[in-house]
Amino acid sequence: METVNEEILIKYLLGECEPEEEQRIRRWLDQGPENRQKLETIHWIWRQSESLKNRSKIDPEQAWQRFLERKAAVKTPVTRFIWRGSWARVAASVCLALGLLWASSYLLPHQGKAYFGQVALEAPGAALEEVLLDGSKVTLNTGAKLAYSQPLFSRERKVWLLKGEAYFDVAHAADRPFVVHGNNLSIRVLGTEFHVRIADGDEEVILDRGSVQVESGENKLLLEPGETARMVAGQTLQKSRTISQLHKYYVTKHFVAEGTPLADLVATMSQAYGQAIRIRGTELEQTPISTTLPFESLQQNLEVLKETLGLEILKEGNLIILQ
């Protein structure tokens, strides 16, 4: 079984290996995914240590020599190398940074675990706001569940929305698209704000800022701000204008209606509070309303609707009826 050490791997990353060393590394990488992961980790540490090196007043070559002396003091075998050129300074900087980066990894979102695997997020009892490893922000509505992964050298940042709805504010990275996968569709973005919902076999994407491409098989739609893509029961993907901002209630903590049909506002409130609410009368359902209600007391919000529209509120068992 082929073995290599960190010094050779650093030379490999800098393109300063001898041909025989490159062949050794290729054989070592082919031995299993854990070796490729180790190389990715060293590459990431190297990149982070560059910024540390630029800020540090410590001489990296002296630090490396002190590191070797400490290892010798505990009788740990050290392979001797002749230190030449830039790769020696990088190696010294890596050693300076190792301890700091190991500790700081615990300060990264989800301890940096998304670099090496999937991280699961769930909002079982209330809306949950999280910052992802790349700095993107996601708000999961109550009951939502997703997983995400952002490997070090991957060309994509991936999210799998498994259940419910979530609102994304994506950090811009032109060379690493952010891709959200649903049951039957996927959304590809660079940097933007959008809402995704999966419920009862239906899937919905509402774009607030930037642009996204929504895909389902060979069917593709490009959305602009204020547009919605919707797939009902796994059928054809369709695009329409967004008629309200109600989809953001769990992010803004307000129900915002601007000339919105009462039926849409009531349906959103029913979902948000987990309370069955019905409107009697088609004409009343289509009555436009403009208001902003806080996502707090259902009873108080119903009273506002009652006074604003002159409604009567009835309760039949667990059902609330507006008429």
**What would the DSSP string read from start to end of 281-315?**
-HHHHT-EEEEEEESS-HHHHHHHHHHHHT--EEE
- pLDDT exceeds cutoff 90 at 128: yes
Contact in structure between 180 and 199 (CB atoms under 8 Å): no
> What pLDDT was estimated at residue 138?
96
Closest CA to 109 of 70, 83, 138: 138
Percent of the chain's residues with pLDDT above 90: 48
- pLDDT exceeds cutoff 90 at 38: no
Percent of the chain's residues with pLDDT above 70: 78
Q: State the virtual CA torsion across 54, 37, 112, 204 in degrees, nearest 10.
A: 120
Domain spans, the chain:
6-107, 110-241, 246-322
The topology under which CATH files domain 246-322 is Phage tail protein beta-alpha-beta fold (3.55.50)
> Among the listed ranges 29-38, 57-66, 136-145, 291-300, which one has the minimum average pLDDT value?
57-66
Contact in structure between 87 and 11 (CB atoms under 8 Å): yes
pLDDT tier for residue 269 given thresholds of 50, 70 and 90? very high
> What pLDDT was estimated at residue 83?
47
pLDDT tens for residues 145-165?
A: 999 999 877 889 999 999 999
Contact in structure between 156 and 177 (CB atoms under 8 Å): yes
DSSP letters, 111-125, are GGGGGTS-EEEE-SS
The SS3 of residue 311 is coil
Instruction: Give mean pLDDT, residues 76-88.
Output: 50
Top CATH class of 110-241 equals mainly beta
pLDDT tier for residue 232 given thresholds of 50, 70 and 90? confident
- pLDDT exceeds cutoff 70 at 97: no
- pLDDT exceeds cutoff 90 at 286: yes
pLDDT tens for residues 308-321?
A: 999 999 999 999 99
Q: Please, which residues bridge with residue 314 across strands?
A: 321
Query: Long-range contacts for 24-28 (Cβ within 8 Å, ≥24 apart)?
Result: 27/2, 28/2, 28/3, 28/4
- pLDDT exceeds cutoff 60 at 76: no
- pLDDT exceeds cutoff 80 at 276: yes
pTM value is 0.67
pLDDT tens for residues 243-263?
A: 889 999 999 999 999 999 999
